[in-house]
Structure 1
Amino acid sequence: MPEIRFRPKYISFDCYGTLIHFQMREAVEPFLIGRLSPDELDRFIAVFRTYRFDEILEYAPYDQVLESSYRRTCRRFGLDAEAAAIEAITTAVLNWGPHPDVPGPLAKMAEHFPLVILSNSDDRHLAASVPRLGAPFHAVFSAEQAGAYKPRLQAFEYMFNALDAAPEDFLHISSHQRYDIIPAYDLGIRNKVYLDRGYDPELPPYEYFSARTLADVNTALGI
């Protein structure tokens, strides 16, 4: 990763997937094993992800997003959406912890820059997850507060307005191209890091730095 010479006013992060280890497949699989073949299971997980994206284009509480997208996916595969599965999926989010590369490098980063979270979740999810990250945050913003999920520009604009800041004030870090990197580019956030967790392909036209770990980002920032 090349040197980042820009000194941001804020470093903003996506939370789930980027900082918190997003383990949706692990939450869903126990309710599908024996009902789907391995190939069908892989397709189910992919379709479930697609429906979650579709559901967040209009704000609803995140538990409702998960339930609706899971039910839609089950219908596609001719399965009943069991109440126990829905409860387990919505509860799982509250129990996930950080990626192993996060706490130490994040705490080091917080010594040099104000850190901000802009998350596609509700306040109660962040109240459970943020303390596990091991670093202080200047501000934590949820879709619930913004009334919109990323990639809606409204979510980013809520963060700008709350901090009285402009797009050029941020270094934005995310492991999601569709939710974060693309809309950040469209809004004029020139300094972005795609933290590659394997969710999305590289999209060089969107002008970001690419990194594998937060430690790489710290090295690029010279800290």
Structure 2
Amino acid sequence: MSKSLPEFKYMSFDVVGTLIDFEGGLTSCLSEIAAEAGVTIDGEEALRLYRSARYAKDADLFPDDLVRVYLAIAPALGLPVDKASGERLRDSAKTWKAFPDSAEAMARLARNYRLIAMTNARRWAFDHFSAELGHPFHGAFTADDTGTEKPDPAFFHKVFEFVADEGADKNDILHVAQSQYHDIGVSRDLGMTNCWIERRHAVNGYGGTIEPAKFTKPDYHFTSMAGLADAAAAARS
């Protein structure tokens, strides 16, 4: 490892999937719609269909795009094919829950690091996610702020510019994320130190997240945010 945890000034975070349980939020809403329609769905199958539809060429910004995604996947799941249900799925993002360890871990990390959110979600959704997490962020970048989405390096360069204004650079940042495709691979290519939070360590496959062309071995690897917070605390003791 090139740097120890106490050497970083910042930690940047993927939000949806790392801190917020978007897979649980999606499947919970879809299951509610299914129950009302008198059918049942398989959560992993729903995520597979979601993943295929979400990364279509005509995709919109997240989570607004969930209306289009719902209409694309509803027939295969036996769900009602109507825009109102799609809007219900989109709006469910306002109530998605953080993983049980996220808020406490972020509060602990905020004592010693400046925390930066880096999310492909739109600002309206991020505002709900941040509130769910207890507003731990020193800075936040959304798809609305950057005009692009990860894994576009341009998204990361916006963050580099932000920390440069505070007298730091990318070497002062530990990038923390669960997505190999959106975060871990590109952060490595950009010369950042990274930390993979393997949220799906007990489940096969990539769920709702696109599979990377290749696996990138991270600098740090934990299966929870609590693991990272514990390691950061231990490194300072």
Matched, 1:179 2:182: yes
Q: Counterpart of 1:207 in 2: which secondary structure? A: coil
Q: Gaps spanning 5+ residues in structure 2: where?
A: none
Alignment correspondent of 1:167: 170
Query: Who is 2:142 aligned against?
Result: 142
How big is each residue's C-alpha offset from its partner over 1:139-194, in whole Å with a ceiling of 9 and x where there is no partner? 011011111111222221222223325432210111111111111112221x2111
Match of 1:105 in 2: 105
Note if 1:208 corresponds to 2:219: yes
In structure 2, distance between residues paired with 1:8 and 1:64: 35
After TM superposition, list the pairs within 5 Å mapping 1:1-223 onto structure 2: 5-6=4-5, 7-22=7-22, 23-32=25-34, 38=41, 42-54=44-56, 60-74=60-74, 81-134=81-134, 136-164=136-164, 166-189=169-192, 191-198=193-200, 200=206, 205-221=216-232, 222-223=235-236
For residue 231 of structure 2, what is the amino acid of its counterpart? A
1:205 and 1:88 mapped to 2: Cα distance? Answer: 36
Given that 2:11 and 2:175 are in contact with CA atoms closer than 8 Å, whether structure 1 keeps it comes out as yes
| Residue range with higher mean Cα deviation, 7-16 or 26-35 | 26-35
Greater shift, 206-215 or 69-78, is seen at: 69-78
Going from structure 1 to structure 2, the CA distance change for 1:38 and 1:132 (only over 3 Å counts) comes to closer
Structure 1 residues 77 and 131 mapped into 2: Cα distance closer, same or farther (>3 Å)? Answer: closer
CA deviations over 1:91-124 (Å, ceiling 9, x no partner) = 1101122211112221111000100000111111
Give the 3-state SS of the residue equivalent to 2:183 in structure 1.
helix
- Of residues 195-204 and 18-27 in structure 1, the stretch that sits farther from structure 2 once superposed is 195-204
Give TM-score, length-normalised by structure 2: 0.78
User: SS in structure 1 opposite 2:55?
Assistant: helix
How many pairs align?
A: 218
Query: C-alpha displacement at 1:61, in angstroms?
Result: 3.5
The 3 A distance-change label for structure 1 pair 110 and 83 is: same
Distance 1:80 1:103 in 2: 35
Whether contact under 8 Å (2:41, 2:77) holds in the other structure is no
- Ranges in structure 1 where 5+ consecutive residues have no aligned partner: none
SS across alignment from 2:182? helix
Instruction: Give the Cα–Cα distance (whole angstroms) in 1 for the partners of residues 114 and 32 of structure 2.
Output: 40
CA drift of 1:12 comes to 0.4
Deviation at 1:35, TM superposition (A): 7.6
The percent identity for this pair of structures is 24
Bigger Cα displacement from structure 2, 149-158 vs 72-81? 72-81
More displaced stretch, 4-13 vs 112-121 = 4-13
Comparing 102-111 with 161-170, greater Cα deviation is found at: 161-170
Corresponding residue SS for 1:64: coil
Kindly provide the amino acid, as one letter, of the partner of residue 227 in structure 2.
Answer: D
Relative distance call for 1:5 and 1:43 in structure 2 (3 A) is same
Tell me, yes or no, if the aligned pair for 1:11 and 1:170 is still in contact at 8 Å: yes
Residue pair 2:70, 2:85 contacting (<8 A) in 1 also: no
Measure, in 1, the Cα distance between the counterparts of 2:84 and 2:27: 16
